[in-house]
Structure formats: structure tokens, C-alpha cells
């Protein structure tokens, strides 16, 4: 049975690095991964990081809330790889649910 693992990230960079790790190193299908905002507003995360730090105050990113990465997997081995990537890039609120 498929599982959906989710985690929140404070920065866009952490979310994107997680996705890249899953796709490039763990060979997960990119279509099984979804990045959304924690709330209704557009967001680049809660804290500046990477390119967001380089901008001036006038070019500040829309730091409204956390980003959520959701990954659908079909087996425990893949779920373990997802959890490892979440941990590596400082995920918060990691959860698993059975896919419907």
C-alpha cells in the first residue's frame, strides 16, 4: 500500500535540496513529489537562505510560512530514503499517511 510522507521546511533551499536528493540520488519519480506552501499565501519559506540572503532589503523574498514537501512511496525502503532526506535537510513535522 502506498504511503504519503510529508515534512515542512523553513527555507526554499532546504525543500529543493530534499527534492534533488530524492530524485537524483535515490531515483524517486519526480511526479511522486509535491511542494506546497503551509498556508494559503505564496512563500519562499520562513527564513532567508541561499540566494534569498544575497538580495537587498528592497528585494526581500516573500517569507510568509513554511514549505511542505509531500512524497508518495510504494515500499518501506523508499519511505526510509525519504525520511533520511527529510532529516538531512532539517525537516520539521515529518508525518506519514496511507495514500487513498
In the predicted model, is pLDDT for residue 67 greater than 80? yes
Percent share of the chain, pLDDT over 90: 62
Report which of 9, 18, 3 is spatially closest to residue 78, judged by C-alpha positions: 3
Stretch 46-59: mean pLDDT: 62
pLDDT bracket for residue 15 (50, 70, 90): very high
* The pLDDT value given to residue 53: 64
For 51, the domain range is 3-98
Strands (E), the chain: 3-9, 33-37, 67-73, 92-98
CA distances from 1 to 4, 79, 90 (A): 10, 12, 27
55: domain CATH number is 3.30.70
- DSSP summary character for residue 59: G
How many structural domains are present in the chain? 1
Amino acid at each position: 500500500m502506498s504511503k504519503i510522507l510529508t515534512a515542512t521546511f523553513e527555507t526554499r533551499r532546504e525543500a529543493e535540496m530534499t527534492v534533488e536528493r530524492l530524485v537524483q540520488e535515490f531515483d524517486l519519480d519526480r511526479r511522486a513529489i509535491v511542494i506546497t506552501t503551509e498556508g494559503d499565501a505564496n512563500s519562499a519559506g520562513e527564513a532567508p537562505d541561499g540566494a534569498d540572503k544575497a538580495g537587498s532589503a528592497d528585494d526581500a523574498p516573500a517569507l510568509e510560512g513554511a514549505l511542505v514537501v509531500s512524497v508518495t512511496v510504494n515500499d518501506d525502503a523508499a519511505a526510509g530514503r525519504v525520511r533520511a532526506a527529510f532529516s538531512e535537510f532539517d525537516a520539521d513535522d515529518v508525518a506519514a499517511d496511507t495514500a487513498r
